[in-house]
Amino acid sequence: MNAGSTFLQCSVNRNAMKHIGKKAWGILVDRFMSVMMNIPYPTDDKCWEWPNVKSYGVLSTRGTRIGAHVLSFRLFSGQVPHGMFVCHKCDNPPCCRPDHLFLGTCSDNSLDALAKGRISIQQLRRASLAGGRTRRKLTDAQVKEARRLHATGWGIRSLERKYKISHRPMWLIIHGETYK
Ligand SMILES: [Zn+2]
């Protein structure tokens, strides 16, 4: 997993917000469902991966393109408000599983800047942390303990459950990006 992957996996597809006509939407949903129906139904919380892609799955018809994960979010969870992005809790771009997706608030500007190489992923992450979205959630002793447990083989998911915090802050704590 590369540093800052949560940001990179936010959808930068502006079509995510675009209105899609009824007819095109129907075609896209049919295609999406026919692919999803071929995925063995997982009973645990495994990802539902779009086949044969390393990054996002993409669906298109008549000039309308949409990320498969974005379509999944719109279909099962609702609209993507302007300025919001569909991100992966699981850090796995091909994944279309609705409960692995969430709306992120990366701003267009930051993503533009990132795409054009004006800022680095580290700067973008620092800016987002400074924005107050990551409150201090653990004491120093808990952070030490969490890192020690991680070193002895505890997965991030188990640590999230133990400390009752969500994936991204836990990941950042474990990888030393917060609580330095
Ligand atoms: Zn997933």
Q: What is the pLDDT of residues 33-62, one digit of tens each?
A: 999 888 776 667 788 899 988 888 999 988
How many whole angstroms from 93 Cα to the centroid of ligand 1? 8
Helix residue ranges per DSSP H, the chain: 5-8, 22-36, 68-76, 108-115, 121-128, 140-151, 156-163, 167-174
Determine the distance separating the centroid of ligand 1 and the alpha carbon of 140, expressed in angstroms: 30
Work out whether the CA dihedral 90, 93, 99, 105 comes out positive or negative. positive
- Which of residues 115 and 44 earns the better pLDDT score? 44
Distance 87 CA to ligand 1 centre (A): 10
CA of 59 to the centre of ligand 1 (A): 18
For residue 75, the CA-to-ligand 1 centroid distance in Å is: 16
Distance (Å) from CA 141 to ligand 1 centroid? 31
What string of DSSP letters covers 120-141?
-HHHHHHHHIIIIIS---S-HH
Collect residues with CB below 5 Å from ion ligand 1. Answer: 47, 90, 92, 95, 97, 100
- Per DSSP, the three-state class of 48 is coil
CA dist., res. 91 & res. 56, Å (int): 11
Q: What mean pLDDT do residues 90-101 have?
A: 86
Task: Measure 50 CA to ligand 1 centroid, in angstroms.
Answer: 10
Query: Can you tell me whether residue 67 is helix, strand or coil?
Result: strand
Mean pLDDT of the 114-133 span: 54
